[in-house]
Structure 1
Amino acid sequence: MDNPELWEDFKRQVAGKSAPAVTQPENKNPAQPEENKEKEVWYRVGTGWKNGICQNQTGAYHNKKFAIADCRPGQKVFDEKGKAIYSGENAAVQEPGVSAAGYTQKQFVIDVQKATGSNPDGVAGDETIGNTVTVSRSSHKYHAVVTPLERRMKALGYYSGEIEADKGEPPCFGLGMEEAVNAYQKEVLNYKSPDGEVTAGKKAWKSLLGMI
Protein backbone atom coordinates (compact mmCIF):
# COMPACT_ATOMS: atom_id res chain seq x y z
CA MET A 1 0.00 0.00 0.00
CA ASP A 2 1.17 3.48 -0.83
CA ASN A 3 -0.36 4.97 2.31
CA PRO A 4 1.67 3.96 5.41
CA GLU A 5 -1.22 4.73 7.77
CA LEU A 6 -3.61 2.42 5.87
CA TRP A 7 -0.94 -0.32 5.87
CA GLU A 8 -0.45 -0.06 9.64
CA ASP A 9 -4.22 -0.13 10.17
CA PHE A 10 -4.48 -3.25 7.96
CA LYS A 11 -1.80 -5.03 10.00
CA ARG A 12 -3.58 -4.19 13.27
CA GLN A 13 -6.87 -5.58 11.95
CA VAL A 14 -5.15 -8.82 10.88
CA ALA A 15 -3.54 -9.11 14.31
CA GLY A 16 -6.91 -8.45 16.00
CA LYS A 17 -5.78 -5.20 17.55
CA SER A 18 -7.89 -2.07 17.69
CA ALA A 19 -6.66 1.35 16.72
CA PRO A 20 -5.17 3.39 19.57
CA ALA A 21 -7.66 5.62 21.35
CA VAL A 22 -7.53 9.24 20.40
CA THR A 23 -6.77 11.40 23.42
CA GLN A 24 -8.81 14.58 23.57
CA PRO A 25 -6.91 17.70 24.62
CA GLU A 26 -7.63 18.79 28.19
CA ASN A 27 -9.97 21.72 28.53
CA LYS A 28 -8.16 23.90 31.01
CA ASN A 29 -11.01 26.39 31.14
CA PRO A 30 -14.22 24.36 31.38
CA ALA A 31 -17.44 26.28 31.04
CA GLN A 32 -18.87 27.23 34.40
CA PRO A 33 -22.62 27.23 34.97
CA GLU A 34 -24.02 30.70 35.35
CA GLU A 35 -25.08 31.57 38.87
CA ASN A 36 -28.74 32.21 39.28
CA LYS A 37 -28.41 35.44 41.21
CA GLU A 38 -31.62 37.09 42.30
CA LYS A 39 -31.73 40.69 41.17
CA GLU A 40 -32.00 43.27 43.92
CA VAL A 41 -35.20 45.27 43.68
CA TRP A 42 -35.47 48.82 44.98
CA TYR A 43 -38.55 50.88 45.80
CA ARG A 44 -37.91 54.60 46.04
CA VAL A 45 -39.88 57.34 47.78
CA GLY A 46 -39.85 60.81 46.25
CA THR A 47 -41.90 63.54 44.61
CA GLY A 48 -41.47 62.44 40.99
CA TRP A 49 -39.45 60.53 38.40
CA LYS A 50 -37.38 62.09 35.62
CA ASN A 51 -34.71 60.68 33.30
CA GLY A 52 -34.45 57.48 35.33
CA ILE A 53 -33.96 59.32 38.63
CA CYS A 54 -36.30 59.59 41.61
CA GLN A 55 -36.77 63.28 42.33
CA ASN A 56 -36.34 64.56 45.91
CA GLN A 57 -35.80 61.01 47.11
CA THR A 58 -36.17 60.49 50.85
CA GLY A 59 -35.66 56.74 50.99
CA ALA A 60 -34.87 53.56 49.05
CA TYR A 61 -36.08 50.17 50.24
CA HIS A 62 -35.91 46.52 49.21
CA ASN A 63 -39.23 45.93 50.95
CA LYS A 64 -42.23 47.57 49.26
CA LYS A 65 -44.17 47.63 52.52
CA PHE A 66 -41.45 49.74 54.15
CA ALA A 67 -41.50 52.22 51.27
CA ILE A 68 -45.27 52.60 51.48
CA ALA A 69 -45.10 53.06 55.25
CA ASP A 70 -42.64 55.94 54.83
CA CYS A 71 -44.44 57.64 51.93
CA ARG A 72 -45.80 61.01 53.03
CA PRO A 73 -48.29 63.47 51.47
CA GLY A 74 -46.85 64.90 48.26
CA GLN A 75 -44.70 61.82 47.67
CA LYS A 76 -45.04 58.58 45.73
CA VAL A 77 -43.43 55.15 45.77
CA PHE A 78 -41.72 54.24 42.49
CA ASP A 79 -40.52 50.88 41.24
CA GLU A 80 -37.24 50.50 39.35
CA LYS A 81 -38.87 51.45 36.05
CA GLY A 82 -40.17 54.70 37.47
CA LYS A 83 -43.76 53.55 37.71
CA ALA A 84 -45.65 55.06 40.64
CA ILE A 85 -47.11 52.15 42.62
CA TYR A 86 -48.38 54.13 45.61
CA SER A 87 -49.33 57.72 46.36
CA GLY A 88 -48.99 59.36 49.75
CA GLU A 89 -51.66 61.98 49.00
CA ASN A 90 -54.09 60.35 51.40
CA ALA A 91 -51.53 59.59 54.09
CA ALA A 92 -52.32 61.22 57.39
CA VAL A 93 -50.00 64.01 58.47
CA GLN A 94 -48.41 62.95 61.75
CA GLU A 95 -45.75 64.40 63.97
CA PRO A 96 -42.64 62.23 63.51
CA GLY A 97 -41.53 60.40 66.61
CA VAL A 98 -44.86 60.75 68.40
CA SER A 99 -47.60 59.10 66.37
CA ALA A 100 -47.11 55.54 65.15
CA ALA A 101 -48.61 56.23 61.73
CA GLY A 102 -46.04 58.10 59.67
CA TYR A 103 -43.20 57.00 61.91
CA THR A 104 -40.47 56.76 59.28
CA GLN A 105 -37.42 54.57 59.23
CA LYS A 106 -35.12 57.58 59.65
CA GLN A 107 -36.97 58.75 62.76
CA PHE A 108 -36.86 55.19 64.05
CA VAL A 109 -33.07 55.07 63.55
CA ILE A 110 -32.65 58.38 65.40
CA ASP A 111 -34.77 57.21 68.34
CA VAL A 112 -32.92 53.89 68.53
CA GLN A 113 -29.61 55.76 68.51
CA LYS A 114 -30.79 58.01 71.34
CA ALA A 115 -32.03 55.04 73.38
CA THR A 116 -28.79 53.09 72.99
CA GLY A 117 -26.21 55.87 73.32
CA SER A 118 -25.20 56.30 69.68
CA ASN A 119 -24.80 59.53 67.75
CA PRO A 120 -28.38 60.39 66.66
CA ASP A 121 -27.66 61.24 63.03
CA GLY A 122 -30.35 59.05 61.49
CA VAL A 123 -27.82 56.91 59.63
CA ALA A 124 -27.37 53.36 60.91
CA GLY A 125 -23.78 52.13 60.85
CA ASP A 126 -21.30 50.12 62.90
CA GLU A 127 -21.76 52.25 66.01
CA THR A 128 -25.54 52.00 65.88
CA ILE A 129 -25.70 48.24 65.40
CA GLY A 130 -22.90 47.73 67.93
CA ASN A 131 -24.83 49.56 70.66
CA THR A 132 -28.13 47.75 70.16
CA VAL A 133 -29.35 45.29 72.76
CA THR A 134 -31.27 42.06 72.34
CA VAL A 135 -34.93 42.72 73.07
CA SER A 136 -37.61 40.11 73.77
CA ARG A 137 -40.09 39.15 76.48
CA SER A 138 -37.20 37.65 78.44
CA SER A 139 -34.42 40.14 77.65
CA HIS A 140 -34.39 43.94 78.07
CA LYS A 141 -38.19 44.02 77.92
CA TYR A 142 -38.28 47.36 79.78
CA HIS A 143 -35.43 49.00 77.85
CA ALA A 144 -36.02 52.49 76.41
CA VAL A 145 -35.47 51.12 72.89
CA VAL A 146 -38.76 49.20 73.17
CA THR A 147 -40.73 52.41 72.48
CA PRO A 148 -39.25 53.08 69.00
CA LEU A 149 -39.60 49.37 68.26
CA GLU A 150 -43.30 49.53 69.11
CA ARG A 151 -43.78 52.65 66.98
CA ARG A 152 -42.00 51.19 63.96
CA MET A 153 -43.78 47.85 64.17
CA LYS A 154 -47.08 49.70 64.38
CA ALA A 155 -46.22 51.90 61.39
CA LEU A 156 -45.41 48.77 59.38
CA GLY A 157 -48.69 47.15 60.36
CA TYR A 158 -47.35 44.34 62.55
CA TYR A 159 -48.25 45.72 65.98
CA SER A 160 -51.71 46.82 67.04
CA GLY A 161 -51.21 47.19 70.77
CA GLU A 162 -50.73 50.23 72.96
CA ILE A 163 -47.56 52.29 73.11
CA GLU A 164 -46.89 52.79 76.81
CA ALA A 165 -44.95 56.03 76.30
CA ASP A 166 -48.06 57.68 74.86
CA LYS A 167 -49.75 57.13 78.23
CA GLY A 168 -46.77 58.29 80.25
CA GLU A 169 -45.88 54.74 81.25
CA PRO A 170 -42.52 52.94 80.97
CA PRO A 171 -42.13 50.70 77.89
CA CYS A 172 -42.77 46.98 78.08
CA PHE A 173 -42.09 44.38 75.38
CA GLY A 174 -45.14 42.18 75.86
CA LEU A 175 -46.98 39.39 74.09
CA GLY A 176 -48.30 41.72 71.38
CA MET A 177 -44.79 42.78 70.42
CA GLU A 178 -43.57 39.20 70.47
CA GLU A 179 -46.31 38.26 68.02
CA ALA A 180 -45.45 41.31 65.89
CA VAL A 181 -41.78 40.35 65.75
CA ASN A 182 -42.70 36.75 64.91
CA ALA A 183 -44.82 37.94 61.99
CA TYR A 184 -42.04 40.27 60.81
CA GLN A 185 -39.49 37.46 60.97
CA LYS A 186 -41.72 35.18 58.91
CA GLU A 187 -42.82 37.70 56.28
CA VAL A 188 -39.74 39.88 55.87
CA LEU A 189 -36.80 37.78 57.06
CA ASN A 190 -38.18 34.39 55.93
CA TYR A 191 -37.52 32.73 59.29
CA LYS A 192 -38.82 29.17 59.38
CA SER A 193 -38.81 29.22 63.17
CA PRO A 194 -39.42 32.78 64.45
CA ASP A 195 -38.27 33.44 68.00
CA GLY A 196 -39.85 36.83 68.79
CA GLU A 197 -36.42 38.30 69.47
CA VAL A 198 -34.85 41.47 68.06
CA THR A 199 -31.11 40.95 68.12
CA ALA A 200 -28.02 42.07 66.22
CA GLY A 201 -26.80 38.47 66.27
CA LYS A 202 -29.32 37.64 63.54
CA LYS A 203 -31.07 39.85 60.98
CA ALA A 204 -33.84 41.68 62.85
CA TRP A 205 -32.01 44.81 64.00
CA LYS A 206 -30.14 45.26 60.72
CA SER A 207 -33.35 44.85 58.74
CA LEU A 208 -35.36 47.29 60.84
CA LEU A 209 -32.53 49.84 60.74
CA GLY A 210 -32.35 49.60 56.95
CA MET A 211 -28.86 48.09 56.88
CA ILE A 212 -29.85 45.07 54.78
Structure 2
Amino acid sequence: MTSASTMTSSQDIAQATAVLERDMEVWDLTDSPPPPALLIQTPPSPPPSPQSLLLQDPTGSDLCQETIIDIKLATHHLLMLALNDFLQDTCYGCQTAHPSQVQHSCLLELGEDFFDTYYDDVMIRLKTDRFIPAIRLFVRSYTVAGTGTQFSRIAEHTMTELRSSQHIVCTINDNIGLLLESSRYAQRVKPAMLRMIGNYWAGRHLF
Protein backbone atom coordinates (compact mmCIF):
# COMPACT_ATOMS: atom_id res chain seq x y z
CA MET A 1 0.00 0.00 0.00
CA THR A 2 1.40 3.34 -1.01
CA SER A 3 1.67 5.99 1.70
CA ALA A 4 0.30 9.52 1.30
CA SER A 5 3.78 11.02 1.53
CA THR A 6 5.01 8.85 -1.33
CA MET A 7 2.09 9.86 -3.53
CA THR A 8 2.62 13.52 -2.75
CA SER A 9 6.30 13.25 -3.64
CA SER A 10 5.51 11.52 -6.94
CA GLN A 11 2.97 14.18 -7.84
CA ASP A 12 5.48 16.95 -7.08
CA ILE A 13 8.06 15.33 -9.35
CA ALA A 14 5.55 14.88 -12.14
CA GLN A 15 4.40 18.49 -11.91
CA ALA A 16 7.95 19.80 -11.84
CA THR A 17 8.85 17.71 -14.89
CA ALA A 18 5.81 18.98 -16.79
CA VAL A 19 6.69 22.59 -16.02
CA LEU A 20 10.28 22.05 -17.17
CA GLU A 21 9.21 20.44 -20.44
CA ARG A 22 6.73 23.28 -21.10
CA ASP A 23 9.40 25.91 -20.50
CA MET A 24 11.88 24.17 -22.80
CA GLU A 25 9.37 24.26 -25.66
CA VAL A 26 9.37 28.05 -25.70
CA TRP A 27 13.14 28.43 -25.45
CA ASP A 28 14.79 29.41 -28.73
CA LEU A 29 17.98 27.40 -28.79
CA THR A 30 18.94 28.15 -32.41
CA ASP A 31 20.78 31.40 -31.61
CA SER A 32 22.10 30.43 -28.24
CA PRO A 33 25.73 31.39 -27.66
CA PRO A 34 28.33 28.65 -27.92
CA PRO A 35 29.85 27.28 -24.76
CA PRO A 36 32.72 29.34 -23.35
CA ALA A 37 35.36 26.98 -24.71
CA LEU A 38 34.25 27.72 -28.28
CA LEU A 39 34.59 31.47 -27.75
CA ILE A 40 38.36 31.18 -27.37
CA GLN A 41 39.93 32.08 -30.71
CA THR A 42 43.32 30.99 -31.90
CA PRO A 43 45.62 34.02 -31.70
CA PRO A 44 46.73 35.27 -35.13
CA SER A 45 50.18 34.36 -36.32
CA PRO A 46 52.72 37.10 -35.70
CA PRO A 47 53.65 39.12 -38.79
CA PRO A 48 56.88 38.09 -40.51
CA SER A 49 59.95 39.97 -39.42
CA PRO A 50 61.52 42.58 -41.75
CA GLN A 51 64.55 40.32 -42.10
CA SER A 52 62.50 37.32 -43.24
CA LEU A 53 60.65 39.47 -45.77
CA LEU A 54 63.94 40.86 -47.03
CA LEU A 55 65.31 37.39 -47.66
CA GLN A 56 62.31 36.17 -49.63
CA ASP A 57 62.41 35.68 -53.39
CA PRO A 58 59.79 38.12 -54.73
CA THR A 59 59.66 36.48 -58.16
CA GLY A 60 59.15 32.86 -57.10
CA SER A 61 62.21 31.63 -58.96
CA ASP A 62 64.24 28.60 -57.94
CA LEU A 63 67.30 30.62 -56.96
CA CYS A 64 68.98 29.72 -53.69
CA GLN A 65 68.79 32.12 -50.77
CA GLU A 66 72.45 33.14 -51.05
CA THR A 67 71.85 34.24 -54.64
CA ILE A 68 68.78 36.25 -53.56
CA ILE A 69 70.89 37.91 -50.86
CA ASP A 70 73.63 38.78 -53.36
CA ILE A 71 71.22 40.26 -55.92
CA LYS A 72 69.57 42.42 -53.28
CA LEU A 73 72.91 43.45 -51.77
CA ALA A 74 74.22 44.58 -55.14
CA THR A 75 70.96 46.37 -55.95
CA HIS A 76 70.94 48.28 -52.66
CA HIS A 77 74.59 49.27 -53.01
CA LEU A 78 74.28 50.47 -56.59
CA LEU A 79 71.06 52.31 -55.77
CA MET A 80 72.84 54.20 -53.02
CA LEU A 81 75.58 55.20 -55.47
CA ALA A 82 72.99 56.38 -58.00
CA LEU A 83 71.17 58.33 -55.30
CA ASN A 84 74.42 60.06 -54.30
CA ASP A 85 75.12 60.89 -57.93
CA PHE A 86 71.69 62.46 -58.29
CA LEU A 87 72.11 64.50 -55.11
CA GLN A 88 75.47 65.86 -56.28
CA ASP A 89 74.22 66.55 -59.82
CA THR A 90 71.35 68.64 -58.44
CA CYS A 91 73.35 70.33 -55.70
CA TYR A 92 74.13 74.02 -56.30
CA GLY A 93 77.16 73.87 -54.00
CA CYS A 94 78.66 70.91 -55.87
CA GLN A 95 78.04 72.49 -59.27
CA THR A 96 79.67 75.78 -58.30
CA ALA A 97 82.31 74.31 -55.95
CA HIS A 98 80.95 76.56 -53.22
CA PRO A 99 83.15 76.51 -50.10
CA SER A 100 80.24 76.81 -47.66
CA GLN A 101 78.51 73.62 -46.60
CA VAL A 102 75.31 75.61 -46.14
CA GLN A 103 75.08 75.86 -49.94
CA HIS A 104 75.36 72.10 -50.40
CA SER A 105 71.86 70.60 -50.49
CA CYS A 106 73.44 67.15 -50.88
CA LEU A 107 74.47 67.35 -47.22
CA LEU A 108 70.96 68.04 -45.95
CA GLU A 109 68.60 65.39 -44.62
CA LEU A 110 66.27 64.11 -47.32
CA GLY A 111 62.53 64.67 -47.03
CA GLU A 112 60.23 61.73 -46.35
CA ASP A 113 58.89 61.65 -49.92
CA PHE A 114 62.20 62.47 -51.60
CA PHE A 115 62.85 59.08 -53.16
CA ASP A 116 59.29 58.65 -54.39
CA THR A 117 59.34 62.14 -55.88
CA TYR A 118 62.65 61.72 -57.71
CA TYR A 119 62.42 57.98 -58.31
CA ASP A 120 62.48 58.20 -62.11
CA ASP A 121 65.44 60.60 -62.07
CA VAL A 122 67.44 58.27 -59.85
CA MET A 123 66.51 55.29 -62.03
CA ILE A 124 67.92 57.05 -65.10
CA ARG A 125 71.29 57.26 -63.38
CA LEU A 126 71.10 53.74 -61.97
CA LYS A 127 70.07 51.70 -65.00
CA THR A 128 73.14 52.09 -67.16
CA ASP A 129 74.44 49.39 -69.47
CA ARG A 130 76.62 48.17 -66.59
CA PHE A 131 73.82 47.86 -63.99
CA ILE A 132 72.83 44.21 -64.54
CA PRO A 133 76.39 43.15 -65.48
CA ALA A 134 77.57 44.63 -62.16
CA ILE A 135 74.98 42.58 -60.28
CA ARG A 136 75.96 39.49 -62.26
CA LEU A 137 79.64 40.11 -61.43
CA PHE A 138 78.83 40.24 -57.72
CA VAL A 139 76.58 37.16 -57.75
CA ARG A 140 78.97 35.05 -59.79
CA SER A 141 81.72 35.74 -57.27
CA TYR A 142 79.91 33.46 -54.82
CA THR A 143 77.43 31.29 -56.74
CA VAL A 144 76.87 30.18 -60.33
CA ALA A 145 73.07 30.32 -60.28
CA GLY A 146 70.84 32.84 -61.98
CA THR A 147 70.31 34.56 -65.31
CA GLY A 148 70.30 38.20 -66.30
CA THR A 149 66.51 38.12 -66.53
CA GLN A 150 66.19 36.78 -62.99
CA PHE A 151 68.64 39.37 -61.70
CA SER A 152 66.69 42.14 -63.41
CA ARG A 153 63.31 41.03 -62.04
CA ILE A 154 64.51 40.78 -58.46
CA ALA A 155 66.34 44.11 -58.74
CA GLU A 156 63.23 45.81 -60.16
CA HIS A 157 61.05 44.41 -57.39
CA THR A 158 63.55 45.50 -54.75
CA MET A 159 63.62 49.08 -56.06
CA THR A 160 59.82 49.22 -56.29
CA GLU A 161 59.55 48.17 -52.65
CA LEU A 162 62.08 50.80 -51.62
CA ARG A 163 60.18 53.54 -53.43
CA SER A 164 57.68 53.89 -50.57
CA SER A 165 60.43 54.23 -47.95
CA GLN A 166 60.14 57.53 -46.12
CA HIS A 167 63.78 57.52 -45.02
CA ILE A 168 65.49 55.97 -48.00
CA VAL A 169 69.11 56.32 -46.87
CA CYS A 170 68.44 54.72 -43.47
CA THR A 171 66.37 51.97 -45.10
CA ILE A 172 69.12 51.09 -47.58
CA ASN A 173 71.78 51.03 -44.87
CA ASP A 174 69.60 48.92 -42.56
CA ASN A 175 68.78 46.46 -45.35
CA ILE A 176 72.42 46.08 -46.34
CA GLY A 177 73.27 45.32 -42.72
CA LEU A 178 70.54 42.67 -42.47
CA LEU A 179 71.56 41.08 -45.77
CA LEU A 180 75.21 40.90 -44.75
CA GLU A 181 74.26 39.31 -41.42
CA SER A 182 72.24 36.66 -43.26
CA SER A 183 75.02 35.81 -45.69
CA ARG A 184 77.00 32.61 -45.26
CA TYR A 185 80.22 34.32 -46.32
CA ALA A 186 82.52 36.50 -44.26
CA GLN A 187 81.06 39.97 -43.81
CA ARG A 188 84.42 41.56 -44.59
CA VAL A 189 84.61 39.95 -48.02
CA LYS A 190 81.34 41.09 -49.53
CA PRO A 191 81.70 44.81 -48.73
CA ALA A 192 85.00 44.76 -50.65
CA MET A 193 83.27 43.11 -53.58
CA LEU A 194 80.46 45.67 -53.40
CA ARG A 195 83.00 48.47 -53.69
CA MET A 196 84.53 46.73 -56.69
CA ILE A 197 81.25 46.39 -58.58
CA GLY A 198 80.46 49.99 -57.65
CA ASN A 199 83.64 51.09 -59.40
CA TYR A 200 82.72 48.93 -62.38
CA TRP A 201 79.17 50.35 -62.51
CA ALA A 202 80.51 53.91 -62.34
CA GLY A 203 83.08 53.22 -65.08
CA ARG A 204 86.03 53.89 -62.84
CA HIS A 205 87.56 50.58 -63.91
CA LEU A 206 88.21 52.19 -67.32
CA PHE A 207 90.81 54.63 -66.00
Normalised TM-score (structure 2): 0.22
Q: Max radius of gyration: which structure?
A: 2
Q: Relative to total residues, which structure has the larger strand share, 1 or 2?
A: 1
Normalised TM-score (structure 1): 0.21
Q: Relative to total residues, which structure has the larger helix share, 1 or 2?
A: 2
Between the two structures, name the one with larger relative contact order (CA 8 Å, sep ≥ 6): 2
